[in-house]
Amino acid sequence: MKSGRPKSDIDHAAIIRTIARIPRGCVASYGEIAVRAGLPRRARLVGRVLREADPELELPWQRVLRADGRIAFPPGSRAYREQRRRLIDEGVIVLKGRVNLARFGWQRDLDAELWDFRPRR
DNA sequence: ACATTGACTCGCG
DNA sequence: GCGCGAGCCAATG
């Protein structure tokens, strides 16, 4: 019986599911993903899970940014450029490696009402 | 068992 | 804006 892997597999799955739900054209921080997955203060775990995630899952990893809206990878790196490209391709405005969270942050279901007087597009 | 390392975050100066 | 330290914690060496 190989007791298995630690319960962290459960957390891992919760994180994967949460990331998969980020709407197209929106972004969320590592910390926010953690909270939504029921794992407050586990932002680093989100990053780790993302790094090891199977590409087959085709997770929208480009939508996960740092708490201040910046791309986590070193500016100019391959991953940085790809993330920037993917975001722009789905309509997210990226200025100097940063996204305006007030505008593109994933806050629809948390504050659905604010959606009405939020500038569109 | 101990030390280092991160796709992190926050507060402070 | 920038650097630091602290808190975070699983993976790695």
Q: Is the CB of A80 under 7 A from strand B?
A: no
Mean pLDDT of A83-98: 98
Please report which confidence band the pLDDT of residue A6 belongs to, taking 50, 70 and 90 as the band edges. low
Q: Residue ranges of the alpha helices (H) in chain A?
A: 8-20, 30-36, 43-52, 78-89, 101-104
Å between CA of A50 and C1' of B12:
31
pTM: 0.87
In total, chain A counts a number of residues equal to 121
Q: Is the CB of A43 under 7 A from strand B?
A: yes
Please report which confidence band the pLDDT of residue A108 belongs to, taking 50, 70 and 90 as the band edges. low
Packed helices A8-20 and A43-52: angle between N→C axes, nearest 10 degrees: 80
Q: Is the CB of A100 under 7 A from strand C?
A: no
Across A27-41, A76-90, A101-115, least confident range: A101-115
Q: How large a percentage of chain A has pLDDT more than 90?
A: 80
Q: Is the CB of A35 under 7 A from strand B?
A: no
Measured CA to C1', the nucleotide nearest A48 is: B7
Q: Is the CB of A41 under 7 A from strand C?
A: yes
Å between CA of A1 and C1' of C6:
40
Looking at this protein, which amino acid is placed at residue A74?
P
